[in-house]
Amino acid sequence: MTPEFLIRHFHLEPLPREGGMFARYYLALETVAQSALPARYIHAKNFGSAICYLHQPHTQSFLHKLKTDEIYHFYAGDPVALVMLHDDGSHHVVILGQDYRAGQHPFFVVPRGVWQGSCLVKGGAWALLGATLAPAYDDDDFELGERAVLLSQYPTAADWVRRLTPEPSKT
């Protein structure tokens, strides 16, 4: 199996802002009224959504946070480092993969409001993952991390922040 095969087979496209390649394969047709949702949501939302996502050595999922818990699923390939930055200034890394004896996880839930980003573990060639959200993902629920701000808030995670944020614009 190769990344090129997976891109063709799953019709993957570049994921804007966040990085990597993805395809949404599920979006619930039913919606939840905004009045029935927590106040953090600004409009009605589909019940749920799911994507598949491909990591390669040159890709990363930039640090971002969402208004909804995100459930990651590891499908195949090489291990992935899932980095989380918490409000108290701490961070931790979970390895998604299939070596359970080594402590890798086949799935993991990132709580809403936690900065999260991911990349292949060094030496990896590719990994195919999934992500599920309920209510569904919506661009209004996404916040991309800024390197300078995150470096000041998470000095102990500086290497991860540099790796998982876009280069600052030179304007």
Residues 98, 137: Cα–Cα separation, whole Å: 26
| C-beta atoms surrounding 122 within 10 Å | 9
Band (pLDDT 50/70/90 cuts) for residue 171 is very low
Does residue 57 lie in a domain region? Answer: yes
Average predicted confidence (pLDDT) for the chain = 95
Does residue 169 lie in a domain region? Answer: no
Does residue 23 lie in a domain region? Answer: yes
Digit-coded pLDDT (tens) for 105-159: 999 999 999 999 999 999 999 999 999 999 999 999 999 999 999 999 999 999 9
Residues whose CB falls within 8 Å of the CB of residue 24, separated by 6 or more in sequence, listed in order: 49, 50, 51, 137
State mean pLDDT over 78-101. 97
Digit-coded pLDDT (tens) for 140-153: 999 999 999 999 99
Band (pLDDT 50/70/90 cuts) for residue 170 is low
Transcribe 55-105 into DSSP letters. Answer: E-TT--EEEEEESS-EEEEEEEES-EEEEEE-TTS-EEEEEESS-GGGT-B
Which residues constitute the domain of residue 72? 3-163
Peptide bond into 135 cis (omega under 30): yes
Dihedrals phi, psi of 72, to nearest 5 degrees: -95, 145
Residues whose CB falls within 8 Å of the CB of residue 144, separated by 6 or more in sequence, listed in order: 17, 18, 62, 63, 64, 166
State mean pLDDT over 41-70. 96
CATH of the domain at 96: 2.60.120.10
pTM of the predicted model, to two decimals? 0.93
| Number of domains present in the structure of the chain | 1
Q: Is 112 exposed, middle or buried (0-12, 13-18, 19+ CB in 10 A)?
A: middle
